[in-house]
Chain A
Amino acid sequence: MIPVVLWSVVIPTIAAGAIVAAGRWGPLRGRACAARTLVVVAIAVAVVWSFVASVGWPSLPPAQKWHAVPWIAVLIGVWGIFDTLLPRDEWPGRLVLAVVGGIVVGWGLVLPGVEPLTVGMVVGATGALTALMDSRGRAALPLGGWAIAAALSMLTLVAGQLTMALLAGAVSGTLAAIWLVGLCSGKCGSDTRAGGAALGATLAVIALTAWSYDYDLVPRWAWLVVAAGIPGACMLEVGSLGRWHGVLASCVRSLVLVSPAIAVVLTQIEAVKGAMRG
């Protein structure tokens, strides 16, 4: 199992971390837009690398429906890059991108027993929510994204889907790398970007794919609750709460983001241990 985790999680994480670091300390240093774009690229690279290391190069058209995931990650990357290019308060543009992104993903990711409309709506909405949080430059988002992706990885492991668990693990590692790079570059990571729409959309794609192939080994509510912190944390961006800054604000936002994910893992801890032993 160790070589599998090495090639499908550790090395993609290192590659993604190097891409993020290049945006902070490389020749593109000081170009905020380039740094944001590289974070999006890092997430897509982590997903594609992890998939290729686990399954091999994906065929086109996909031989199996879930083999579309790496292609979808690339499309989400394009969506995420457009998202990062928009000015901070360009909300109509972000919403249009989320609608278009949702439609494209709903069309491209055909999952057993899930309507394309559901796929499109969940991915579009999650992408829009993380785009909202990320546009504020919250340090909480990389940390929250890391926790959600890690919890998702454990749930997919319980569901017996090793490849999806590794993909979520690679995204989790990437978010940890983003957080670390943000911390090391000063400002306590307050200006750290976490990939905006690409983060939420990628997590939603992994969660939906794993859920659609699950044989009720994971309770249905767990799939819903694991990412509940994202809309929860977005509530803290509405109105005057959106102007709440400082360490306490970051701590509260982080808690709101990670609490549901941690709670889900704790309720499933015996199943997680069993899956890890197997």
Chain B
Amino acid sequence: MRRTLTAGVAAALLSGTMSMQSAPTAEAESWEIDPGHSTSLFRIHHAGAGRFWGRFNDVTGSVAWPRDDSAAPSFDVTVSAESIDTGSARLDGHLKSPDFFNAKEFESMQFKSAAGERMSDGRWRVTGDLTLLGVTKPVTVEVETTGVRGSAVVAKAGWEAKFEINRSDFGMNWGVENGALSDDVQLIVAIEGGIEPGR
């Protein structure tokens, strides 16, 4: 019994140390993002009334993560601005226009992790740089590991990241001052990554 307690205390201490330093104990594997099973949603307050949802269908990149979750996932994610989808071609065209995502000039948005801190089991607070409209700003993302399945050779893992930005920080100012559209935008990025032989 005493041995078990000691082991438990040691594990807790070790866990605390890991939480502070995010030091990987297992080697991180590289998970290639599966665009077919990954998506990015955004939510914005329209005219001070309804909350409007849209999505980006093309999410690519990779995640470095040890599948024992001993270290924070490290994201290198690219979201194509051209893949915006609101269900209305006219609205899509407007959001791709220079007033918003300026997709002809800035084809994609990128997020690159810099560090991670464990919040609880399977939950991480990841900080990194978000590049939007050519402007790079640090953001903090709350990430949940939603699952991992497979063998050492073929496997899939999933994460869901939630964060909020002020779009004016990136030079996307349309409608902020007059309240036509809110400055704050909530984003949810759901990612599935895979490991396959030969990669």
A residues sitting closer than 8 Å to B (CB atoms) are 1, 3-4, 54-56, 63-66, 112-113, 159-164, 212-215, 217, 274-275, 278
Contact = CB atoms under 8 A, between A and B. Distances in A.
Interface of B: 89-99, 102, 104-106, 133-135, 171, 173-175, 178, 180
B171 A63 contact: yes
B104 A162 contact: no
Given A65-B105, A113-B104, A160-B91, 6 more contacts: A66-B98, A160-B93, A160-B94, A162-B94, A163-B99, A163-B174
A215 B133 contact: no
Contacts, number: 67
A187 B104 CA distance: 48
A115 to B, nearest CB: 15
A63 B134 contact: yes
Most buried by B among A162, A164, A214: A162
A213 B104 contact: yes
B58 to A, nearest CB: 16
Main secondary structure of the interface of B (DSSP, over half): loop
A217 B89 contact: yes
A4 B104 contact: no
Contacts of B134: 63-64
Given A1-B180, A4-B180, A112 B105 contact: yes
Contacts of B97: 159-162, 213, 215
Contact of A64 (B96, B102, B178): B102
Nearest to A56: B173
Given A4-B180, A64-B134, A217-B89, A55 B96 contact: no
Given A64-B171, A160-B97, A215-B93, A4 B178 contact: yes
